[in-house]
Amino acid sequence: MYQEFGSKKADNDIFSRNFLYYKPQKKIYPFGIAYISTNYRRKIDTRLFAGAGVTFQLLNKTYHVIKFSANAVYETNKFNGTSFNYGEYNGSNKINLWRGTLFAGGWNYLLNRKLRFYYDAYWQPAFSNKNNYRTQFDIGADFPVWKGLSFNALYTFTHENVTVINVKQEDKILTFGLAYNLKIKHK
List the domain boundaries for the chain: 59-180
- Rounded CA separation 120/178 (Å): 20
Q: How many Å apart are CA 79 and CA 59, to the nearest integer?
A: 39
Query: Which whole number is the average pLDDT over 106-130?
Result: 93
Cβ-Cβ contacts under 8 Å for 138 (sequence gap 6 or more): 118, 119, 120, 121, 154, 155, 156, 157
What per-residue confidence (pLDDT) applies to 165? 95
Percent of the chain with pLDDT strictly greater than 70: 92
Q: What is the mean pLDDT of residues 125-153?
A: 93
- Cβ(19)–Cβ(50) below 8 Å: no
Residue 124: count of CB within 10 angstroms of its CB: 20
Q: How confident is the model at residue 11 (pLDDT cuts 50, 70, 90)?
A: low
- Residues 69-100 pLDDT 10s: 999 999 999 999 999 999 999 999 999 999 99
Nearest to 69 by CA among 52, 56, 87: 56
Residue 56: predicted pLDDT: 98
59-180 belongs to which CATH class?
Answer: mainly beta
Question: Which runs of consecutive H residues, i.e. helices, occur in the chain?
Answer: none
Q: Range with the lowest mean pLDDT among 25-34, 106-115, 122-131?
A: 106-115
Q: What is the dihedral of CA 106, 121, 18, 58, to 10 degrees?
A: -40
Q: Kindly calculate the radius of gyration of the chain based on its CA atoms and give it in whole angstroms.
A: 19
What average pLDDT does this structure show over 149-162?
94
Number of Cβ atoms within 10 Å of the Cβ of 62: 7
pLDDT at 4 over 80: no
Cβ 79 vs Cβ 164: under 8 Å: yes
**CB neighbours of residue 14 within 10 Å:** 12
pTM for the predicted model, two decimal places? 0.82
Residue 71: what pLDDT?
Answer: 97
